[in-house]
Amino acid sequence: MIRINLLPVRAAKKKETALQQLFILGASVVVVLVVVVALWLVKLGQISGTQNDINAANAKISELKTKIGKLDEIKKLKDEVKKKLDVLTSLRKDKTGPAARLATLSDVTPEQLWLESYKEAGPDIRISGLAYNEELIAQFIRALEASSEYEKVDLVVSEQKDVSGTKLKRFDLTFRIESTKPTTEPVKK
Q: Give the span between the Cα atoms of 84 and 80, in whole angstroms.
A: 6
Amino acid at 65: K
Amino acid at 46: Q
Stretch 168-188: mean pLDDT, rounded? 69
Report the percent of the chain where pLDDT is more than 70: 87
CATH code for the domain of 160: 3.30.1360.100
In the structure, what pLDDT confidence band is assigned to residue 6 with cuts at 50, 70 and 90? low
* Residues 36 and 64 reside in one and the same domain: yes
Given 46, 72, 94, the domain boundary residue is 94
- In the chain, the number of structural domains is 2
The 10s digit of each residue's pLDDT in 117-164 is 888 887 888 989 988 888 888 888 888 888 877 788 888 888 888 888
Amino acid at 113: L
* Residues 34 and 106 reside in one and the same domain: no
* Residues 18 and 89 reside in one and the same domain: yes
Stretch 174-183: mean pLDDT, rounded? 67
* Residues 87 and 137 reside in one and the same domain: no
- Would the pLDDT of 181 be above 60? no
Given 45, 65, 94, the domain boundary residue is 94
pLDDT of residue 110: 85
pLDDT of residue 5: 62
**166-177/113-121 β-pairing:** unpaired
Which one, of 135, 129, 133, 82, lies nearest residue 106 by Cα? 129
* Residues 156 and 86 reside in one and the same domain: no
* Residues 74 and 126 reside in one and the same domain: no
Given 76, 94, 112, the domain boundary residue is 94
In a domain, 83, yes or no: yes
* pTM, two decimal places: 0.44
- Would the pLDDT of 182 be above 60? no
* Residues 136 and 152 reside in one and the same domain: yes
pLDDT of residue 45: 95
In a domain, 186, yes or no: no
* Residues 103 and 135 reside in one and the same domain: yes
Neighbours of 170 (CB within 10 A): 16
In the structure, what pLDDT confidence band is assigned to residue 179 with cuts at 50, 70 and 90? low
Q: In terms of pLDDT, which residue wins out, 46 or 140?
A: 46
159 conformational bin, left if phi > 0, alpha if psi -120 to 50, beta if neither: beta
In a domain, 188, yes or no: no
* Residues 84 and 123 reside in one and the same domain: no
Q: Give the span between the Cα atoms of 3 and 7, in whole angstroms.
A: 12
State the residue range of the domain holding 111.
98-177
Question: Which residues lie across from 144 on neighbouring strands?
Answer: none
The 10s digit of each residue's pLDDT in 27-45 is 999 999 999 999 999 999 9
Q: What is the mean pLDDT of the chain?
A: 84
Residues 6+ apart with CB under 8 A from 101: 120, 125, 149, 150, 177
How many Cα atoms sit within 13 Å of 178 on the Cβ side? Answer: 15
